[in-house]
Copies of this chain bind each other. A is one copy, B any other.
Amino acid sequence: MELLRQRILAEGKCFEGGILKVDSFINHQMDPQLMMAVAGEFMKRFTGAGVNKILTIEASGIAPAIMVGYLMKLPVVFAKKKKPSTMENMLATTVYSFTKRRDYDVCVCRDYLGKDDRVLFIDDFLANGNAARGIMDLVRQAGAELAGMGFIIEKEFQHGREALTEAGVRVESLAIIESLDNCTIKIRQ
């Protein structure tokens, strides 16, 4: 997606350890027009995939996911990163975050994810794929089907896609970062 590619090159910032910050338009400040364009691209790629629900994880996945849900006229569920005190009837899984160097729980209420759901998972980043594998586990526990996963930015050099495609999951990323070596952003053409 050329619009996104140009924006990452113009505003993305590299840090040691393969970190790419896109805080000015995706992760902290967000550009809603870009989010809608991103959602339009996801819709185009997943049209015909039989999706009936959009799933994401709080917090940075919510903006693109709600836009996809709006365009596709589908409900959007966001998985929570800790168990809410008022939530019962929950599915939960544990995800290890390399960035934060700790485990966290991801949970979703069974009322909103079940065997009649065919899910499109939307998130901001695909890195090592730990969060995405957590989502696969939640979808499996719910007895739902996973129609695919869409990421705004994939850090290809962190190999998250491999385990997903090996498990038969369709993965679509709108910008694929080949490397951040020497703090230079190299995006696939």
Contacts and interface: CB of A to CB of B under 8 A. Distances in A.
Q: How many copies does the complex hold?
A: 2
Given A62-B59, A62-B63, A112-B24, A32 B70 contact: yes
Interface in A56-95: 58-59, 62-63, 66-67, 69-70, 73-78, 80, 85-87
A118 B74 CA distance: 33
Interface residues of A, number: 37
Interface stretch (A15-23, A127-135, A174-182): A15-23
Contact of A33 (B36, B70, B85): B70
Given A15-B86, A67-B66, A77 B32 contact: no
A171 interface: no
Nearest to A23: B109
Contacts of A23: 87, 109, 111-112
Contact of A66 (B63, B73, B111): B63
Chain A interface mostly: mixed
Contacts of A86: 15, 19, 21, 99
Contacts of A63: 62-63, 66, 76
16 contacts: A21-B86, A23-B111, A24-B112, A28-B77, A28-B108, A28-B112, A29-B75, A29-B112, A30-B66, A31-B75, A32-B66, A32-B74, A59-B59, A63-B76, A66-B66, A85-B100
